[in-house]
Every structure is written in structure tokens, then in C-alpha cells.
């Protein structure tokens, strides 16, 4: 006599009861950036509005930031690209005015939105600096306005040359919640001092996020103002720097002499 064993469906109640699940089911673009979801079966994480086939609830996990999703071992979805585009809910300036000045280590591009300084970029080529600004603020109207920004450019350039003098100007930072936490932590590192990526991870209460901290440093658009050049490898060696390792070394040497 055969006995039939009733197969039980996976318990999907927790996911289906979570209000975020409705946003995933309806592909609600307004929820993009408020959270991310990952799919265990595919190993990727997505925006709520992702157009991919709806995942089974039992395979779904929710994450407050994309950094949390990556720390959990998931990679960005190639369809909705949650690591590349800015969620619509974030304010993006329609117009940005910029100017380019010089200091002892090259050129300094200073950009200002209606809310404050949104970028301080270092480099050696005017056209390359503008392209960098364009890539960080796609869709914004960029206006080279030396006349209006002359005073601001002078203040920022003087600060970049000598950070100990301070910089009292409004800032307009653009980043994820995690990136903002990292950048605020970097601003607590005094000139002449350094910290490791692990140190910063510990300071923000996420000790396992050293790699994500490094990524946040690389995404920083406010050179020296948000001093990512003061973050070094755990053994004290200089690691990568968006504007060149040699420039990073020079900045640290200048600050050590203050």
C-alpha cells in the first residue's frame, strides 16, 4: 500500500506580507532608491521597478541600500543597473555653474548647484575635468561661469592648497545613504592624520564594509573637502585615488608639514 506524501510549498508569508513586496510586484519606480531587493536563485539585486521576470517570494530578500546587498554577496542586475543610475527620487540639479582654477598640484574644477558646492574635481586637463563633471551629473545643464564663481573658486582653491584654514561654504552632496555616512566620517579625519578603510567601516557601525567604504571613496565628488585622500590601506600603504596616487601622496605630505 503506497502512502502519498503531501508536498509543502515554501513559506512565502514573510515576504508577501512585507509592504515592499507590493512595490516589487507593481514595479513601482517611485520606490527606486528607497530599498533594493535581491534574488537568491540568480544572485543579483535590483531596483523595485526592474522589468525582469517576477521572482518567487521565497527567493527574495530586501536591503536598505545597494551596499548592504553587495555585502550580502549579491551583484547588480544587468537589466536595471541599480549601481549605475540615480533613482528618480533623488534631487538632481537642472543647472550647474562651474569654474576651473589652479593650485600647486594641477587644476581644480569647482561646481555649484542652487544648493551649494556639488563638486570639487582635480586634474590636469580642462576638457577632461568637464567630462568628469558631465558623467557625475548626466542631464544637468553645465555653465562655465568664471565671473560669478570667481570668489568661490578662490576660496575652494585656497582650501585645497591648505585644508587647515577651513572652508565655510554650503555643500550639496549627492550619494546613497551609505555613501553619505562614509563621507561624513571622512570629514572627521583631521588634516595631517590618516585612517584605514576598516577604521571608517568601524566608525559607521558596519565593520564588514571596508570594500564598500573604498567604493564610496572612489565615488566622492568633493576632493579634499571630503578628504578621501586621508584613507589608506590597513598596512598604511597608499591605495588607489580617483585623482592619482601621486597627487594623493603629495596632498598627505603637504598636510603632514602643517
pTM, whole model, 2 decimals? Answer: 0.67
Name the catalytic one among 77, 80, 118, 228.
228
CA distances 181 to 67, 184, 202, 212, Å, are 12, 5, 12, 12
Grid coordinates representing 231 are 584613507
Asked, for residue 72, whether it belongs to a domain, the answer is yes
- Least confident residue range of 35-49, 81-95, 169-183, 201-215: 81-95
- 39: CATH: 3.40.10.10
CATH of residue 245: 1.10.10.10
Residues 97-138 have pLDDT tens digits of 999 999 999 999 999 999 999 999 999 999 999 999 998 888
Specify if 56 maps to a domain.
yes
**Strands across the sheet containing 36-39:** 60-63, 36-39, 44-46, 75-76
Instruction: Tell me, yes or no, whether 145 and 186 share the same domain.
Output: no
Same domain (yes/no): 61, 29: yes
**52 within some domain:** yes
- The position carrying cell 555643500 is 171
Query: Could you tell me the residue range of the domain that residue 62 belongs to?
Result: 13-76
Task: Give the tens place of pLDDT for each residue, 159-178.
Answer: 999 988 888 899 998 887 78
User: Which of 165, 194, 220 is the last residue in one of the domains?
Assistant: 165
Residue 128 vs residues 107, 122, 123, 133, 156: alpha-carbon distances, Å:
11, 10, 8, 9, 20
Please report, rounded to a whole number, the percentage of residues in the chain having pLDDT higher than 70: 91
Q: Is 167 exposed, middle or buried (0-12, 13-18, 19+ CB in 10 A)?
A: middle
159 lies in the same domain as 194: no
Note whether residue 124 is domain-resident. Answer: yes
Q: Does residue 200 belong to any structural domain of this protein?
A: yes
**Number of domains the chain contains:** 3
pLDDT of residue 16: 87
Count, residues in the chain = 258
Which residue, 140, 165, 190, sits at the end of a domain?
A: 165
Annotation marks residue 228 as catalytic: yes
Of the listed ranges 24-33, 50-59, 158-167, 229-238, the least confidently predicted one is 24-33
Amino acid at each position: 500500500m503506497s502512502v502519498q506524501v503531501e508536498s509543502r510549498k515554501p513559506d512565502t508569508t514573510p515576504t508577501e506580507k512585507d509592504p515592499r513586496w507590493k512595490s516589487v510586484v507593481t514595479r513601482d519606480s517611485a520606490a527606486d532608491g528607497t530599498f533594493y531587493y535581491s534574488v537568491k536563485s540568480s544572485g543579483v539585486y535590483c531596483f523595485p521597478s526592474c522589468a525582469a521576470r517576477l521572482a518567487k517570494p521565497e527567493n527574495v530578500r530586501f536591503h536598505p541600500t545597494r551596499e548592504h546587498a553587495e555585502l550580502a554577496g549579491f551583484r547588480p542586475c544587468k537589466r536595471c543597473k541599480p549601481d549605475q543610475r540615480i533613482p528618480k527620487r533623488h534631487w538632481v540639479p537642472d543647472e550647474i555653474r562651474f569654474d576651473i582654477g589652479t593650485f600647486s598640484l594641477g587644476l581644480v574644477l569647482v561646481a555649484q548647484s542652487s544648493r551649494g558646492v556639488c563638486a570639487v574635481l582635480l586634474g590636469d586637463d580642462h576638457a577632461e575635468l568637464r567630462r568628469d563633471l558631465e558623467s557625475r551629473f548626466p542631464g544637468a545643464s553645465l555653465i562655465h561661469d568664471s565671473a560669478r564663481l570667481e570668489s568661490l573658486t578662490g576660496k575652494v582653491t585656497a582650501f585645497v592648497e591648505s585644508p587647515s584654514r577651513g572652508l565655510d561654504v554650503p555643500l550639496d552632496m549627492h550619494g546613497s545613504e551609505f555613501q553619505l555616512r562614509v563621507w561624513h566620517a571622512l570629514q572627521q579625519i583631521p588634516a595631517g592624520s590618516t585612517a584605514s578603510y576598516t577604521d571608517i567601516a568601524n566608525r559607521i557601525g558596519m565593520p564588514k564594509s571596508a570594500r564598500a567604504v573604498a567604493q564610496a571613496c572612489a565615488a566622492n565628488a568633493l576632493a579634499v573637502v571630503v578628504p578621501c585622500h586621508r584613507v589608506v590601506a590597513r598596512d598604511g600603504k597608499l591605495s588607489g585615488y580617483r585623482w592619482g596616487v601621486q597627487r594623493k601622496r603629495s596632498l598627505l605630505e603637504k598636510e603632514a608639514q602643517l
